[in-house]
Amino acid sequence: MKASEGFPVRLRFTEHGKVRFVSHRDVARGFERAFRMEQVPLAFTAGFSPRPKVSFGLALSVGHESDAEYLDVELRDAVDVGALVGPMTDALPDGIDVTGAVALVARAPALQESVTAVDYRIRPLDAHDEPVTTDVLATLLDAAAAPDLPVTQVRKGEARVVDVKPVIRHLELVHVGDTPVLELSLSTRPRGARPREVLDALAAVAGVDGLAEGHVVRTAQWIERDGARMEPLEADALTRTLEEACAS
């Protein structure tokens, strides 16, 4: 890779604890500050107000936790990407941990355009702010068999009624210890839906009132190409491409 092309890197990180109430913009500021503290050789945009070349994946809703968030950053120089993980975690706010880093191929597709599915684990609450019972979750699961699941989506101040049933890829009732939870997988293309919207649609069909989103964790994100399903650290990794070239 030529020096003029920069050195693109993808980071995976988690968000747990109180940081779930921090906005996406503030998380981005936290990373920019951590990059400066660790003297990471960032590449910058041209113009009167240069900005670091950092782009995030799908924004995480405020109040949600995550095991799998991603950002792409372009560096001026090649670095040992594995050596970024520990120092970056130390420099970031409590609750944000960097869990992986890879060098990317040049001109890798943007994360927001590449991710095609996201997984969640949801522990809804009832009208009394108590975790809902297994029976209630089973009722929601049955509602997913309805021919359509209409819900009102609000995007950029505009409200419209959409059917979220095509967005749902998988819905399952499982137990984490003694606690019943829903595992939910959603498509992001051609359109997506938020867990809150899916719960609202299921609750309306099931006749369940007062259902709150409760505790939500984004557990995984996926990039799918040519029948292959890959975690974003794998999809456009430079080492993966080199290994494939050697194999062929």
Q: Is the pLDDT of residue 20 over 60?
A: yes
- pLDDT score of 92: 97
Cα(151)–Cα(166) distance, integer angstroms: 12
Burial of 185 (0-12, 13-18, 19+ CB in 10 A): middle
Domains of the chain plus CATH, in order, are 3-108 (3.30.70.580), 116-224 (3.30.2350.10)
- pLDDT score of 158: 87
- pLDDT score of 6: 87
Burial of 7 (0-12, 13-18, 19+ CB in 10 A): buried
Burial of 16 (0-12, 13-18, 19+ CB in 10 A): middle
Whole-prediction pTM: 0.90
Q: Is the pLDDT of residue 5 over 90?
A: no
From 197, 125, 196, select the one nearest 161 (Cα to Cα). 197
Per-residue pLDDT reduced to its tens digit, 38-64:
999 999 998 888 899 999 999 999 999
Per-residue pLDDT reduced to its tens digit, 146-180:
999 999 988 888 889 999 999 999 999 999 998 99
Number of Cβ atoms within 10 Å of the Cβ of 158: 7
Ramachandran angles phi, psi of 226, nearest 5°: 50, 40
Q: Prior bond to 131 cis, omega within 30?
A: no
Q: What does the block give as tokens for 42? A: 């960032």
